[in-house]
């Protein structure tokens, strides 16, 4: 008789335990209500610096002739940077390339050495855009025969990137709030936030040329116009939805 009394109570306790466990699992499995959005931001600023690549190339019958010509031009270019008061730490003239120049002789089915090609590049980090036109025009006069576009930049890059990110996050929250209101809910705290990064749209100094006539050397130095820079950022965000 004693065993018959204890068995039902044990069964009841086991059943209650199973129901409690099932209730906890069910509550944990309830998904949180959320909304996922994206946001974008853009900040514009005037550049205050530029990166310029100036190249010199010579093709001559002997290596010595090619080197002499290139080195003489680089010396004139370095003298120009000193004249413009560009600090040496912002001038890199260490890039050198030397290669033989061949042509294929069909009759003899072999390569014939014509001479050598020597090239050097000088990279200049310019912190005074008022000197940009002078640097480009006078470098050509000094013998530079390869001029890359002047890539514009800002010394406030990090500050501008963060400003674009801030705008992107604000835009994402406004988008989420709009969706929440349309759905009859309130926007809760942010659950996740990620960014694809910020980047400036590459900008280059433009040379404004007259249609009537090309400017003379001195006038040409004033025709380089720096374009406005744009820093853009994009974020993805997920917010909790609070349903009344």
Residue 5 confidence (pLDDT): 43
Residue 200 confidence (pLDDT): 63
Largest CA distance in the chain: 120
Vertex 150, ends 216 and 70: CA angle to 5°?
A: 75
Residue 67 confidence (pLDDT): 96
Residue 217 confidence (pLDDT): 52
Pick out the chain residues at pLDDT < 50: 1-7, 9-30, 208-216
Closest residue by Cα to residue 233 from 169, 157, 158, 188: 169
C-alpha to C-alpha distance for 190 and 192, rounded to whole angstroms: 6
Q: Is 237 exposed, middle or buried (0-12, 13-18, 19+ CB in 10 A)?
A: buried
Domains, in order of start, for the chain:
30-45+157-242 (3.30.110.170), 49-153 (3.30.70.2970)
Q: What is the reported pTM? A: 0.69
Residue 174 confidence (pLDDT): 97
Residue 205 confidence (pLDDT): 63
């Amino acid at each position: 008789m004693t065993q018959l009394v204890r068995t039902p109570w044990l069964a009841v306790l086991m059943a209650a335990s199973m129901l409690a466990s099932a209730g906890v699992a069910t509550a944990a499995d309830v998904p949180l209500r959320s909304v996922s959005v994206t946001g974008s931001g853009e900040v514009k600023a005037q550049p205050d610096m530029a990166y310029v690549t100036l190249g010199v190339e010579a093709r001559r019958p002997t290596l010595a002739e090619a080197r002499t010509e290139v080195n003489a031009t680089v010396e004139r270019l370095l003298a120009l940077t000193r004249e413009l008061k560009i600090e040496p730490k912002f001038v890199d003239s260490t890039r050198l390339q030397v290669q033989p120049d061949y042509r294929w002789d069909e009759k003899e089915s072999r390569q014939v050495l014509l001479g050598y090609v020597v090239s050097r590049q000088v990279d200049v980090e310019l912190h005074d855009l008022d000197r940009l036109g002078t640097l480009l025009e006078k470098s050509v006069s000094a013998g530079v025969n390869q001029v890359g576009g002047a890539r514009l930049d800002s010394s406030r890059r990090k500050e501008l990137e963060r400003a674009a990110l801030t705008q992107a996050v604000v835009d994402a929250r406004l988008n989420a709030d709009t969706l929440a209101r349309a759905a009859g809910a309130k926007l809760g705290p942010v659950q996740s936030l990620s960014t694809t990064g910020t980047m400036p749209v590459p900008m280059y100094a433009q040379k404004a040329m007259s249609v009537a006539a090309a400017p003379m050397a001195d006038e040409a130095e004033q025709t380089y116009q720096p374009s406005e820079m744009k820093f853009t950022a994009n974020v993805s965000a997920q917010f909790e939805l609070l349903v009344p």
